[in-house]
Amino acid sequence: MPELPEAETIVRGLRPAITGRTVGNTRVLHHDVLRQPARRVADGVRGRTVQGVERRAKNIVICLDEDRVIAVNLGMTGRLLPFAPKVTPLREATHPAVVFHFRDGASLVFDDTRRFGTVECLSDAAWRERSDRMGPEPLDPGYTAARLAEALRTSRSPIRSWLLDQRRIAGVGNIYASEALHLAGIHPERQARSIDEEGAAALHASIRAVLAAAIEAGGTTLRDYRDADGEPGRFARRLLAYGRDGEPCTRCAAAIRRIVFGGRSAFYCPTCQPKRRPRRGRE
Partner DNA sequence: AGTGTATCCTGCAGGC
Partner DNA sequence: TGCCTGCAGGATACAC
Q: Which residues bind DNA (CB under 7 A)?
A: 1-3, 6, 32, 57-59, 73, 75-77, 95, 113-116, 154-158, 161, 164, 166, 173-175, 220-225, 261-265
Choose between 86 and 133: whose C-beta lies nearer to DNA: 133
Contact 78, 7 (CB under 8 A): no
Q: Distance (Å, rounded) from C-alpha 25 to C-alpha 116? A: 24
Work out the widest C-alpha separation in the chain, in whole angstroms: 72
Tell me how crowded residue 76 is: count the other CB atoms within 10 A of its CB. 16
| Catalytic entry in 208, 257, 264, 274 | 264
Catalytic (active site) residue 275: no
Contact 203, 148 (CB under 8 A): yes
Q: How far is the CB of 144 from DNA (least distance, A)?
A: 21
Q: What is the DSSP string of 218-273?
A: T---SSS---TTSPPPS-GGG-SSTT-TTSBPTTT-PBPEEEEETTEEEEE-TTTS
Q: Distance (Å, rounded) from C-alpha 183 to C-alpha 203? A: 8
Please list, in sequence order, all residues whose beta carbon lies within 8 angstroms of the beta carbon of residue 149, skipping any fewer than 6 positions away. 195, 197, 200, 201, 204
Catalytic (active site) residue 283: no
Catalytic (active site) residue 264: yes
Choose between 63 and 71: whose C-beta lies nearer to DNA: 71
Choose between 19 and 265: whose C-beta lies nearer to DNA: 265
Q: How far is the CB of 178 from DNA (least distance, A)?
A: 9
Choose between 108 and 111: whose C-beta lies nearer to DNA: 111
Q: How far is the CB of 169 from DNA (least distance, A)?
A: 11
| Catalytic entry in 21, 55, 56, 58 | 58
CA quadruple 263, 162, 110, 6: dihedral sign: negative
Question: Residue 148, SS3?
Answer: helix
Q: How far is the CB of 26 from DNA (least distance, A)?
A: 21
Catalytic (active site) residue 37: no
Choose between 52 and 232: whose C-beta lies nearer to DNA: 232
Q: How far is the CB of 143 from DNA (least distance, A)?
A: 18
Question: Residue 56, SS3?
Answer: strand
Q: How far is the CB of 166 from DNA (least distance, A)?
A: 5
On the 0-12 / 13-18 / 19+ scale of CB atoms within 10 A, 24 is middle
- CA 271 to the chain's CA centroid: 29
Please list, in sequence order, all residues whose beta carbon lies within 8 angstroms of the beta carbon of residue 264, skipping any fewer than 6 positions away. 164, 174
Choose between 24 and 262: whose C-beta lies nearer to DNA: 262
Annotated catalytic residues are 2-3, 58, 264
